[in-house]
């Protein structure tokens, strides 16, 4: 920890009346501590100075207000104070052979998130149209070069889906097995992206996870879990597959825009190629 990091930490401990800071983990966007707030153990997330995505996440947690997600207790541009879900990650269920049960739990969490009344401002969140920009840019470049690529097909499908969105909600935007943990209040999501759009989109990342495991590339498993989500959320299975195909191509295009990431590119693209033959009339 640099002296500047230490100064920031101590300032928040004093200003927010926190104590007993213990570094839990460090990510590309933040340093995360467990701290005491009175007698309660909570999470203090110190954000990188240029971080904006975490700001959208704070707006989203405030919108969810504890329904299916950890509670946002306090925040400003530099930090967030959060409820601590200190139980097991949902991915541990998959690791011990309860894969389908884990997907049903995800569906239950999504139903809670999507049940929040949609009557508050969504300023600061991204619409799905904006979220898919990288895919649209990749498809445009491929068309200009005469390449009728999978990205061109995915972008055309995404445009159709986004032009006819159903049941628009504030979305988590990054639901997967490592973004859900058990707590005294049940299974809770955290680290939302802050999106607004058709609730079906929140199924897409789920079907592409747990990350970097061959489970995801099992066609039978993918279709079975799409069916579970469709049944539990009362959503059309074909639209789930369509949004997942579009998301997998979006994820691939985002990695292509960065240097490196070949492993992630191949992994996401394989998901898209498995799904594409199963798309019918969407």
Structure confidence at residue 51 as a pLDDT band (50, 70, 90): confident
Q: Are 170 and 196 in contact (CB under 8 A)?
A: yes
- When pLDDT is averaged across residues 8-20 and rounded to a whole number, the result is 96
Q: Which of 66, 83, 100 is the last residue of a domain?
A: 83
Whether the pLDDT of residue 171 is over 90: the answer is yes
Tell whether pTM > 0.85.
yes
- Number of structural domains the chain divides into: 2
Structure confidence at residue 29 as a pLDDT band (50, 70, 90): confident
CATH number, domain at 71? 3.30.200.20
Q: Which of 36, 66, 83 is the last residue of a domain?
A: 83
- Residue 144's pLDDT is 96
| Same-domain pairing of 50 and 120 | no
Q: Which residue has the tokens 């707590």?
A: 183
Parent domain of 27: 3-83
N-to-C CA span, the chain: 51
| Same-domain pairing of 182 and 266 | yes
Q: Round the average pLDDT of the chain to a whole number and report it.
A: 94
Whether the pLDDT of residue 4 is over 90: the answer is no
What is the distance of C-alpha 9 from the center of its chain? 27
- Render pLDDT for 95-116 as a digit per residue (tens, 0 to 9): 999 999 999 999 999 999 999 9
CA separation, residue 179 to residues 20, 88, 100, 174 (Å)? 25, 11, 17, 8
| Same-domain pairing of 79 and 171 | no
| Same-domain pairing of 14 and 127 | no
What is the distance of C-alpha 263 from the center of its chain? 20
Q: Which of 83, 110, 134 is the last residue of a domain?
A: 83
- When pLDDT is averaged across residues 29-49 and rounded to a whole number, the result is 94
| Same-domain pairing of 15 and 119 | no
| Same-domain pairing of 72 and 125 | no
| Same-domain pairing of 106 and 64 | no
- Render pLDDT for 87-99 as a digit per residue (tens, 0 to 9): 999 999 999 999 9
**What does the DSSP assignment read for 239-271?**
HHHHHHHHHHHHHHHHHHTSSS-HHHHHHHHHH
Q: How many CB atoms lie within 10 A of CB 154?
A: 27
| Same-domain pairing of 125 and 250 | yes
Tokens found for residue 240: 């789930």
CATH number, domain at 102? 3.90.1200.10
């Amino acid at each position: 920890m640099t002296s500047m990091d230490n100064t920031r930490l101590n300032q928040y401990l004093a200003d927010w009346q926190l104590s007993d800071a213990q570094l839990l983990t460090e990510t590309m966007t933040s340093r995360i501590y467990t701290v005491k707030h009175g007698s309660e153990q909570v999470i203090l997330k110190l954000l990188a100075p240029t971080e904006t995505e975490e700001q959208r996440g704070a707006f989203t947690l405030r919108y969810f207000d504890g329904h299916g997600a950890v509670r946002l207790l306090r925040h400003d541009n530099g930090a967030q104070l959060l409820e601590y879900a200190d139980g097991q990650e949902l991915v541990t269920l998959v690791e011990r052979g309860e894969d389908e049960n884990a997907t049903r739990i995800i569906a239950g969490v999504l139903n809670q998130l999507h049940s929040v009344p949609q009557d508050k401002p969504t300023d600061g969140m991204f619409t799905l149209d904006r979220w898919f920009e990288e895919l649209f840019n990749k498809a445009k470049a491929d068309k200009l070069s005469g390449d009728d690529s999978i990205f061109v097909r995915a972008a055309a499908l995404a445009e159709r889906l986004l032009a006819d969105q159903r049941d628009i909600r504030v979305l988590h935007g990054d639901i997967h097995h490592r973004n859900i943990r058990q707590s005294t209040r049940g299974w809770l999501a955290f680290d939302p992206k802050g999106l607004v759009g058709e609730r079906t989109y929140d199924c897409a990342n789920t079907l592409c996870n747990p990350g970097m495991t061959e489970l995801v590339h099992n066609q039978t498993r993918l279709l079975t879990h799409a069916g579970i989500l469709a049944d539990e959320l009362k959503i059309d299975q074909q639209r789930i597959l369509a949004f997942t195909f579009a998301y997998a191509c979006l994820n691939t295009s985002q990695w292509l825009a960065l240097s490196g990431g070949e492993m992630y590119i191949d992994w996401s693209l394989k998901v898209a190629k498995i799904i594409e033959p199963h798309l019918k009339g969407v």
